[in-house]
Amino acid sequence: MSTRYTLSLITSLACAVSVNAGQGMSKSNPINQVLADVQNLPRTLTPTEKEWIKNNPQIQTRAVTTTPQGALIAPSEYAPSEAIIYGWSGSTSWKTILAQMAKQITTVGQADVIVVVANATDLAAMNTSFNSNGVDMSRVRTITGALNSIWMRDYGPRFVYESGVRVIVDSIYYSTRPLDNAIPTVLSSALKKPSYALNLLHSGGNYHMGEPGIGFATRLAVDDNPSLTETQISALFQLYYGMFTRWQTQLPWTVDGTGHVDMWFMPIAANKIMISSWPSNVGSAQALTCDAAAVDMQSRGYTVYRVPARLISGVHYTYVNSVICNDLVLIPSYTNTTVSPYNAQAVAAWQAALPGKTVVAIGCQNIISAAGAMHCIVMHYPKHTGGNNPVVYVQSPNIAQQLTPASVVSVNWISDHVRDITSVDIQLSLDDGANFSTVAASEANDGSYTWSVPDVYSTNARIRVLARDSSGMTGSDQSDVSFTINGTQQRNGDFDGDGIVSNNDLGIMLLEWGVCEILLDCPSDLNRDGVTDTGDMGFLLLSFGDAT
């Protein structure tokens, strides 16, 4: 049974476990024993997994979320990274690769590593391995989560920026690996990042993000989702990633059992692409595919760099499946005697392509036969956009609308920070954002506040959410457009409601003189600037003695 056919079947699976469940598979599922016994689960499906899927074609519809509302920017493969994420899984030789990568990432790459570990035993083993390999342990963060496999690029969370806030987009992974499929949910909770569920069978290794706003994938994504057209899938990537997708032809299944673009093609910098060459297989299907892609990219204005690849005994040896982390580039090297002569050539090609970065080769002989190398086992965690300040995006109210006093409106926002946000203030402006008064102070940063619309009148109202951390650093966002509040509160100075602006109203104003902590407590703030002062006195005197 081909991988291609197997993946297409998965699209319509319910499987024994919900796609968002993380509790493991049904005990009646024979895959249980297989996953428990296989240390080095390959990137592709095992024969047992394929057979189980073939015999259990149950149908399930995944619950999806709304699409992101803010402006989307998808960070490229080479965008600044706060951390590299991976799972502590596989045999000792695979974990040694993780440790060697962590040393380079935490020192040369100047980034953290976030490692998903299953339990205390694995954590202790990871610490021992990392320490013995010279990892900067101050830059290591761990998150507890059960795993089926090491292939974080394929099942892990895809991060995009929604109006500057890092959010997760989670697509569907293999139904036979439910623990892996649940990892984006685990990381969403641990990292406190909003998550959007994409109802698409899709592996992260088959999507490269370049710039500006252009992504690359093979048509495997179309094969895996037979109910959708290429145009429809492109529209989904636009809605959830903010990317225009350029489709590539995948390599033949006899060459690469994954079908993923990251095995032979990678955007490496603005207008630069790295593509495999096949010096020992000139004229082969894989060579023709890669050569055609190179010509196409050159015609689009990209500078194309080539690095050799080999197919030996069914193993696809690639030097493209690499990791860029800030000023560090990690590329695979191999000990196979036929392939190893290309190691130096690969380093030279990457150095020529990215002269300002440090290129480090990591031995990947022990993992490449499982159909993947270093890019396949990591996911990039992009840098926070706010520096030392929180970032906030107000999702609602964020459209032109008319609100009635005493009606209940949900104020919704998302936020991001390099540290925890301790509280938020909800604020209201009645003058199109020139001045704000506090509606609610020191609220929990839970993304939602139930607001009772006050009895005020404004055609230029806006809501602002201001977030702060324990150090007092703040960041805020306000409604993108103004809305109307159809209130009845008088603004002519008749505060006591006796029908005339008089000395009594002047006395009320003087009693309220100063800063208004809460807007409704300051009816004498006639110009709505958050303070009762001489400006408001001027408004009152203009109406003094007038009947209302």
Question: Tens digit of pLDDT for each residue in 12-46?
Answer: 222 323 333 333 344 445 455 445 445 689 999 88
Q: Where are the alpha helices (DSSP H) in 56-133?
A: 92-107, 120-132
Q: Is the pLDDT of residue 122 over 80?
A: yes
- pLDDT, residue 59, reads 46
Confidence band of 61 (pLDDT split at 50, 70, 90): low
CATH fold label, 391-486: Immunoglobulin-like (2.60.40)
Q: Residue 477, SS3? A: strand
Q: In this predicted model, what pLDDT tens digit does every residue of 202-232 receive, in sequence order?
A: 999 999 999 889 999 999 999 999 999 999 9
End-to-end CA distance of the chain, in Å? Answer: 84
Q: Residue 381, SS3? A: strand
Eight-class DSSP state of 119: S
- pLDDT, residue 536, reads 85
Record the pTM.
0.85
Whether 72-382 shares its CATH topology with 391-486 is answered no
- pLDDT, residue 455, reads 87
State phi, psi for 290 to the nearest 5 degrees: -70, -40
State phi, psi for 64 to the nearest 5 degrees: -110, 160
Confidence band of 487 (pLDDT split at 50, 70, 90): confident
Q: Residue 136, SS3? A: coil
- pLDDT, residue 521, reads 60
Taking the domains of the chain in order of start, what are their residue ranges?
72-382, 391-486, 503-542
Q: Is the pLDDT of residue 161 over 60?
A: yes
- 14 and 58 Cβ atoms separated by less than 8 Å: yes
Burial (CB count <10 Å: 0-12, 13-18, 19+), residue 435:
middle
- 311 and 342 Cβ atoms separated by less than 8 Å: no
* CA 42 to chain centroid: 25
The CATH number fitting domain 72-382, selected from 3.30.420.40, 3.75.10.10, 3.30.43.10, 3.40.470.10: 3.75.10.10
Mean pLDDT within 528-545: 84
Q: In this predicted model, what pLDDT tens digit does every residue of 277-315 receive, in sequence order?
A: 999 999 999 999 999 999 999 999 999 999 999 999 999
